[in-house]
Amino acid sequence: MSNYKIILSGGGTGGHIYPAIAIANELKMRFPNAEFLFVGAKDRMEMEKVPQAGYNIEGLWISGIQRKLTLKNLSFPFKVVSSVLKAKKIIKQFKPHVAIGTGGFASGPLLYAAASKGIPSLIQEQNSYPGITNKLLSKKAKKICVAYDG
């Protein structure tokens, strides 16, 4: 199979976006005919940086949960449900062979939707301590790659 379809997600900060772009660049060198699609959070840094790197991106209405009591958290459950539904629609249209997440709240709905559809999911954790999203997704991931031993 030479025409792999790879969907990637990670965002909110450069610490999640640039590893995802680096992974896509390496896979593109190894599989020149592969198709790539990124999924990120609307109105966040990835919506600018990913297209600058030459890749298409779809946006989800998602944000991180505030760790303190705030009115912003009232919309969080609606954002999660909306984003999971849109991620499922994106997956149905793109038909990826694999889903790769590099962390950040944007990768949660995509990897959850991919795993629920039986699509192999990979988490790449570049930090010494995993974030909330990667911790939650680790139970559904086929493979977890880390940057540090232990």
What pTM did the predictor assign?
0.85
Which ranges of the chain does DSSP label H, i.e. alpha helix? 14-30, 46-52, 76-94, 107-116, 132-137
- For residue 52, the 8-state DSSP code is H
Which amino acid, 37? L
- Residue 2's pLDDT band (boundaries 50, 70, 90)? low
Complete edge-to-edge strand list for the sheet that includes strand 57-60: 57-60, 35-41, 5-9, 98-101, 121-125, 143-146
pLDDT digits (tens, 9 = 90+) for 23-69: 999 999 999 999 999 999 888 889 999 999 999 999 988 877 667 77
CA neighbor of 50 nearest in space, from 11, 97, 88:
11
CATH of domain 5-146: 3.40.50.2000
User: Per-domain residue ranges for the chain?
Assistant: 5-146
pLDDT digits (tens, 9 = 90+) for 72-127: 777 778 888 899 999 999 999 999 999 999 888 788 899 999 999 999 998 887 76
